[in-house]
Chain A
Amino acid sequence: MSAEFSSRATVYLHNKDFESIVRSALKDIFGEPLASSVIFQIGGTESIMDPSLFEKKIRLVFGPGADLILDYVAKKLENPRKRIVRK
C-alpha cells in the first residue's frame, strides 16, 4: 500500500496529533517496552513527527513488515476514535 502513506497521513496531520497516534499504534502492535525501543531505533521523537520520515525509517528497520505497520497507523489516523483494545 504505503507508497501513499505520507499523503494519506498528511491529510490528517492538521487535525490529529501524528506523533501521539504513531506512539499509540506502535504500543498497540509491540507493547510498551518494545514500542519505546522501536522509536529509539528509528531515530527518536523526531522520526515520529514527520510522516515521510517515519515511513522511511520504518521501512529501513522492518522491511516487508513496514507496510503492515504503516497501514495500521494510517487506519488509526483516519479513525482515531476507534479504541483498539490490546489482548
Chain B
Amino acid sequence: MSQSKKRILVVDDDEDIRETLKSLLTKKGYIVDTANDGATAIQKSESTPYNLALLDVVLPDMEGTQLLVKLKPTTPRMRKIMVTGHASLDNAIRAVNMGADGYLIKPVSPPELLRMIEDQLKRQEDDGRLTQEKITSFIETRIKMLEGSEGGKE
C-alpha cells in the first residue's frame, strides 16, 4: 500500500476522538501520532516530518486556526485538515484563509475522512512531483548554459 509510510498527526483534546482516529488510520496503514494540545503538536511536528495533520478547531491552549499558522514553519508541505464540532461558513472560510487544506464537521464519517486524507496526500505527491520537475528543468537549463559558455571559449 503506497500510504503505508505516510505519517499523520491527530490533534484533539478529546482522548476518545484521538484514540478512535488513531485506531482507524493505523488500520489503514498510516503511521499515527497524537497530541492533546497545540504546544505538543508543534513540538512533535518539529521533530517528525508529518505528511498530514488533523486539527481540532478548539484546543486547550490555542485555537486550531492559530495552530495552523504555527505549524507551517515546522513542515511547510504538511497538509492540514481542520475538524470542528461547530459548523459555520465563517469558521470554514477562516480556516482555509489561515492555511487549512480541508475542513470536516464532527461527527466525522470515517469514509469521508479517509477520502479526504487520500485526496490530500495525493495532492501532496503531485506537488512534490511538480517541484522535482521544475528543479530538474532548472538544473538542465543551468548546465546547458554553463557548457554552452565553456564551449564558446574554446
A interface residues, Cβ below 8 angstroms from B: 28-30, 62-65, 68-69, 72, 82-87
Contacts and interface: CB of A to CB of B under 8 A. Distances in A.
B140 A84 contact: no
Secondary structure of the A side of the interface? helix
Given A62-B136, A63-B136, A65-B135, A82 B143 contact: no
Given A29-B146, A65-B132, A85 B139 contact: no
Contacts, number: 43
Nearest to B134: A65
B128 to A, nearest CB: 9
Interface in B21-37: none
7 contacts: A62-B135, A64-B136, A65-B132, A68-B139, A83-B150, A83-B153, A87-B149
B142 interface: yes
Interface in B124-152: 132-133, 135-136, 139-140, 142-143, 145-147, 149-150
A68 B140 contact: yes
